[in-house]
Amino acid sequence: MKATQLWFTEDQTPGYKVQWRLREVLHTEQTPFQELAIVDTYDFGKALLLDGIIQVTEKDHFIYNEMITHIPLSAHPNPRRVLIIGGGDGGALRECLKYETVERVDMVEIDEQVVANCEKYLPEIASEFRNPRARLIFEDGLKYIKTVQGEYDVVIVDSSDPVGPAVQLFERPFYEDVARALKDDGLMVCQSESPFFNIDVLRKVVTALRDLFPVVRPYLAVIPTYPSGLWSFTLASKKVDPLAVPRERLKARDTQYYNPDMFYGAFVLPEMVKRAIE
């Protein structure tokens, strides 16, 4: 389907919508889990939509994927086993595999069609699914995490927004399972929504993680395609404090957004966020 005046409207909040002009709708389908679409936008290139919400675009995918991976993998002194829950577009997987110490990345994605379509339409992002160090597991992450204990150095929760079944990925019982799945010096990171529109979600995540981990550090990045542009992640660690990581251990690995200065700077929080989580 092609049209010169084809627009997609994303309802980001009850009072805030964003419109994207499309060159073409490349693919649509109803998977067993969600409505999936691949579209080609004028300003952000091709994009993955799930249930009417843009998940990733060619233009700015690197910001989210670099910040959800390089921060925890740089903080951990020797990341060898990594688990990604979600991440079906493959961007987080690609970034994790840039680390020479990483022996295996397990990616648990509930919807096999997300992987198949991203590999077909977004090959720049989904470029490492066939890497021998990658293991794809098509299963519910909530169920999988209950089956492992003390296995991972880093767990990355690359989830969609807290709507429907994904709500459970933002709650304490799930974080308890993640803590059990980590090794004694392990750490985790999750995306924790917009601190501008969803400060209650960030506060809930930080509060739950503080009950389970001695070190909890929210951090921020600017991602143009996401609501408000300002986005939060939260790192929780059993031992390592990212603010104490020596600079000489940090280096950029073929990145476009992340660098050693960004590692420390991301943890500098605006006053509104500091007050909300205190």
Q: For 123-152, how does the pLDDT look when each residue is reduced to its tens digit (9 = 90+)?
A: 999 999 999 999 999 999 999 999 999 999
Mark whether 167 and 188 lie in a shared domain.
yes
| Residue predicted with more confidence, 191 or 1 | 191
Number of DSSP helices (H) and strands (E) in the chain, helices first:
8, 12
Active site residue 158: yes
Which residues lie closer than 8 Å to 258 by C-beta, 6 or more apart?
A: 66, 67, 70, 71, 252
Binding site for spermidine: what residues are annotated?
A: 89, 158-161
Mark whether 45 and 81 lie in a shared domain.
no
Containing domain of residue 30, as a range? 2-57
Give 6-28 pLDDT, tens digit per residue: 999 998 888 889 999 999 999 99
User: Which candidate in 60, 153, 158, 177 is catalytic?
Assistant: 158
Mark whether 102 and 230 lie in a shared domain.
yes
Residue indicated by tokens 């990616």: 107
Binding site for S-methyl-5'-thioadenosine: what residues are annotated?
A: 34, 109, 140-141, 165
DSSP summary character for residue 191:
E
How many whole angstroms separate alpha carbon 131 and alpha carbon 243?
32
- Kindly report the CATH number assigned to the domain that includes residue 79: 3.40.50.150
Binding site: what residues are annotated?
A: 34, 89, 109, 140-141, 158-161, 165
Task: Say how many residues make up the chain.
Answer: 278
Let me know if 1 is exposed, middle or buried by CB neighbors in 10 A (0-12, 13-18, 19+).
exposed
Which residues lie closer than 8 Å to 52 by C-beta, 6 or more apart?
A: 10, 11, 35
Give 26-76 pLDDT, tens digit per residue: 999 999 999 999 999 999 999 999 999 999 999 999 999 999 999 999 999
Per-residue pLDDT band for 4 (boundaries 50, 70, 90) equals low
Choosing from 57, 79, 97, the residue where a domain stops is 57
Q: Which residues pair with 8 in a beta bridge?
A: 20
Residue 195 falls in which region: left (phi positive, over 0), alpha (psi -120 to 50) or beta: alpha
